[in-house]
Amino acid sequence: MNDFQQPDQNRHDRDQELHRGLMAIWSNLPGWGSLSAVNHTTVGVRFMVTGAVFFLIGGVLAMLMRSQLALPDNTLIDAALYNQLFTMHGTVMMFLFAIPVLEGLGIYMVPKMTGTRDLLFPRIGAFGYYCYLFGGIIIMYSLFAGIAPDAGWFMYTPLSDAEFSPGRGSDFWLLGITFVEISAVSAGVELTVSILRGRAPGMTLTRMPIFCWSILAMSLMIVFGFPPLILASILLELERAASMPFFNVAAGGDPLLWQHLFWLFGHPEVYIIYLPAAGVVSTLIPVFARRPLVGYGWVVFSIVLMAFISFAIWAHHMFTVGIPVAAQAFFSIASMLVAIPTGIQVFSWLATLWSGRVVFALPMLWIFGFLVIFVCGGLTGVMLALVPFNWQVHDTHFVVAHMHYVLVGGMFFPMMAGLYYWLPLFSGRMPSENLGRWGFWLTFGGFNMTFLLMHLTGLLGMPRRVYTYESGLGWDWLNLLSSVGGFVMAAGIAVIIIDIAMHFRFGRKAPQNPWQADTLEWALEAPPPPYNFISIPSVSSRHPLWDNRNLAQEIAAGEHAMADFEHGRREVPYTSGLDARPQSIVHLPGNSWIPLQAATVMAVLCICLLTRWYLLAAVTAVISGVMLLRWSCFNGAHPQSAPVNDKRADDLQLHSRTLDGPGIRGMKVTIMADATLYLCLLFGWIYFWISPDRPLPDQMPLDVSVMVACSLFVLLANLSYLTAVRRAKAGMGTGLEYRLWLTCAFGLLHCISLAWILVFSPLQFTTLTHDALIMFAILYLMFHSVLALFLTLIQIQRYRAGYVSELLPYEFLVLAPWWIYTTVIAWSVLIIFAGLPMLWPIG
């Protein structure tokens, strides 16, 4: 608290008043109450700190592995433990360190850079954090209990299935990671919508900082990239726990389907990790070169291009599984094309440095390390994309070296640059120069010693994932040096930790905007108050702080928009997507216990599934469903919380009084993720049909007439809901409730007929992949229908309570896309899952 008082002295009375008023609205609750915090600054820091802890845990696992590999025929660690170590190291680093830290950075930074006070779904952010934390703890527990997953971080079946991994290890992975992914996807949705609709007025897309572009790309890639893995994990867990054979060869499944789904996620994943880090580089380089980034448009283009290409090259992880030659050529060339957007970025950085005059501060040293290591990793990546070479070095230590060059070079080094760069904002103090340089050189030297040599180890034929090796293969000295290098790097990281810890006490007080940066976060006082900006600036260029050197003072003096607190609401602007014209004011929820409660119940659900207490799991699932539905009922939409036609000075209304708002956008982005999952299921279905010699049932297991009836019911429900929405939008209140009830009635008929199909169809879902896939599709549809039904019932209740009406139709609009999507799946299940087998007559 002390930190806030010092600058207060030279404030005018009005500043003081604004500051205190906003603090009263935006502060977290004190003490344990801060667990109810939803503020993006708090949530972002929690993500990053937790991620850093997981990085250290993952690092310890790596050190254990390197100790074992230091000498040939070493017996320090046995195979069983080593397999858990590399599986957990990879899993922790990818899922519990890299992604969450980058999300945390995005959550922390995006509102500050886009000149607003918070993200648009604060509770979702907090909920995501708790899912991540609890999921991480559950996964880590397995390691301490000695039953950790041990089939590698990509969990190939059949090795990971019930037959070859009978223990609980794979279940921990599948359930724990899926739980953590909820957090990733929710952060992805939150960031996408907030970046597109929550920027300060005037910050058009072309004026948006590159960092926000890269976080936007990351978020959209999460939205489209994670569903394949979520689906694959659910399918594999069903195969393990409920014997539904999706990947089992005897029943008609294929282990390669797992690989396709995994890498359909796994490849975009590495760009999800790289893009935000590259965004950090594009932010820092212009600041230290003290000139605008060269080729802003080119860099944005290359980010978008990279995001697209990364979804078309997953099979380059599968060149040795025997896919057709033409497919190999396609994936090989597509993979090499990634060099183009990467090259554009690298050369625009070089050109920026070249035509500026550079201040070589500590963050730039880390950028130097990034450049050396990442470019090297990128070049070995191009080598690996060359199929004949890949056939030789795939699954050797060459690949281990390559992936650490891109992951550590492309993510860890830029993050360290960013850490040192933003530290003064976070703590109000400057980082040291000396100790920091020691930390860098030890890390950089140790890293290269470990992994540069490892390329040669791989070329000499050492496969990856071996817990030991015999002497005399030429690998001994290489491995020993790699291990020594690993410990040097660990020492470097220890120095960094000491450096950062000491800076909080001994660091020089940072002046405002110490690096003379151009982006809005540096207009904040350090450490940033929970409301960020006292008044919301309107942005007129890419470099607001370079153009107007008094902007920080003006903002603090409340000279810009929304400098009011008398309403007592957390308010942020809602702006149009392209040109950031103000459209309405979003009334955000404040501190809330709901995220913690919901995540806790879901953690209990996860544990019940792990221990296979299915009865308890069912009960918890119902409770968590109720909690999540209840969640939507707590918002400020009631007319009593603000008059419906409250005219404000700026002529803007609260979003819940308009026809557009974050909820609608969030719903649409969520449906995009959901639809991706469904498309992956269709991919699995089509993959099944084009595989040779798959076993089929003797007769079509679904009763088509019931399926048609079922799809008609949902169509009618959908139509009557949409009529209700249309009438509400037109301001016609009569017959609204009747139409909602009609929707529910049709919805109920639809659910009943679905249940009938589920119960009475002769589906052999434990012996045939064909039937297991159909079963899954029907369950998936059922989930959506039941949810649509309950959400409509809630709307009826909200209508009666006055939250929604023909004057306030906003919430009706939020639900509409869900009904439409449910109808679309129902018909596509009818056509594709019931219809396709009829075209392709069985038997």
Binding to Cu ion (CB under 5 A): which residues in 414-473? none
CA distance 650 to 138: 49
In the region spanning residues 385 to 414, those forming contacts with ligand HEM, defined by CB under 6 A, are 400, 404, 407-408, 411-412
| Smallest separation (angstroms) from ligand HEM to the CB of 798 | 45
Yes or no: say if 216 and 126 are a contact pair by the CB < 8 Å rule.
no
What torsion, rounded to 10 degrees, do the Cα atoms 704, 705, 711, 713 define? -160
The binder of other proteins chosen from 7, 72, 167, 461 (CB under 8 A): 461
Within 8 A by CB and 6+ apart from 285, the residues are 293, 349, 352, 353, 367
CA distance 279 to 345: 10
With CB under 8 A as the contact rule, the residue among 459, 623, 628, 816 that binds other proteins is: 459
Rank residues 23 and 456 by Cβ distance to other proteins and give the closer one.
Answer: 456
170 is a contact residue toward other proteins (CB under 8 A): no
Residue whose pair of structure tokens reads 């088509």 in the numeric block: 704
In the bound state, the residue with its beta carbon closest to ligand HEM is: 90
Q: How far is the CB of 451 from ligand HEM (least distance, A)?
A: 8
Residue 597 Cβ vs other proteins, minimum distance, rounded to whole Å: 40
Considering the rule CB under 6 A, would residue 188 count as an interface residue with ligand HEM? no
Specify the residue, 406 or 604, whose C-beta has the smaller distance to Cu ion.
406
- By CB under 6 A, the residues from 455 to 484 that bind ligand HEM are 464-465
The binder of other proteins chosen from 72, 295, 589, 835 (CB under 8 A): 295
Out of other proteins, ligand HEM, Cu ion, none, which partner does residue 591 contact, by CB within 5 to 8 A per kind?
Answer: none
Q: Are 172 and 107 in contact (CB under 8 A)?
A: no
Q: What does the DSSP assignment read for 51-112?
A: HHHHHHHHHHHHHHHHHHHTSTT--SS-HHHHHHHHHHHHHIIIIIIIHHHHHHHHHHHHHH
Verify binding: residue 364, ligand HEM, rule CB under 6 A: no
Q: Give the H or E element holding residue 584.
A: strand 582-588
As measured in angstroms, the least distance from the Cβ of 7 to ligand HEM is: 38
Per CB under 8 A, the segment of 10-18, 151-159, 170-178, 572-580 that binds other proteins is 151-159
Does 357 bind other proteins (CB under 8 A)? Our answer is yes
Q: Is the peptide bond before 527 cis (omega within 30 degrees of 0)?
A: yes
Which of Cu ion, other proteins, ligand HEM, none does 59 bind, CB closer than 5 to 8 A by kind? ligand HEM
Of 488, 808, 832, which Cα lies nearest the Cα of 656? 808
Tokens of 99: 């992604």
Q: Of ligand HEM, other proteins, Cu ion, none, which one does residue 468 interact with (CB within 5 to 8 Å by kind)?
A: other proteins
Instruction: Report the residue number, 59 or 377, with the smaller CB distance to ligand HEM.
Output: 59
Residues touching ligand HEM: how many (CB under 6 A)?
A: 24
Exactly one of 95, 132, 134, 153 binds ligand HEM (CB under 6 A); which one?
153
Specify the DSSP class assigned to residue 32.
G
Could you tell which of Cu ion, other proteins, ligand HEM, none binds residue 267, using a CB distance below 5 to 8 A set by kind? Cu ion
Residue 584 burial class via C-beta count within 10 angstroms: exposed 0-12, middle 13-18, buried 19 and up: buried
To Cu ion, the closest distance from the beta carbon of 311 in angstroms equals 11
Restricting to residues 263-322, name those near Cu ion by CB under 5 A. Answer: 267
CA atoms of 681 and 701, how far apart (whole Å): 19
The binder of ligand HEM chosen from 44, 51, 90, 529 (CB under 6 A): 90
DSSP 3-state assignment of 509?
strand
Q: Give yes or no for residue 460 binding other proteins (CB under 8 A).
A: yes
Interface with ligand HEM, residue 316, by CB under 6 A: no
Q: How many residues bind other proteins (CB under 8 A)?
A: 92
152: contact with ligand HEM by CB under 6 A: yes
Query: From the CB of 668, what's the least distance to other proteins, in Å?
Result: 34
> What does 339 interact with, of other proteins, Cu ion, ligand HEM, none (CB < 5 to 8 A by kind)?
other proteins
- Three-state DSSP class for residue 536: strand
Return d(Cα 595, Cα 575) in angstroms, integer. 26
- Scan for tokens 């009631």, then name that residue: 638
Structure tokens given for 62? 């790596």
What are the φ/ψ torsions at residue 583 (nearest 5 degrees)?
-115, -40
Q: How far is residue 641's CA from residue 634's CA, in Å, rounded to a whole number?
A: 12
Cα–Cα distance measured from residue 280 to residue 269, given in angstroms and rounded to the nearest whole number? 18
The answer to whether residue 65 forms part of the interface with ligand HEM (CB under 6 A) is yes
| Distance in angstroms (rounded) separating the CA atoms of residues 46 and 382 | 37
Q: From the CB of 271, what's the least distance to Cu ion, in Å?
A: 8
State the minimum distance, in angstroms, from the CB of residue 534 to other proteins. 24
Q: Rounded CA gap, 722 and 718, in Å? A: 6
Q: Contact residues for ligand HEM (CB under 6 A)?
A: 59, 62, 65-66, 86-87, 89-90, 93-94, 98, 152-153, 400, 404, 407-408, 411-412, 450, 464-465, 486, 489
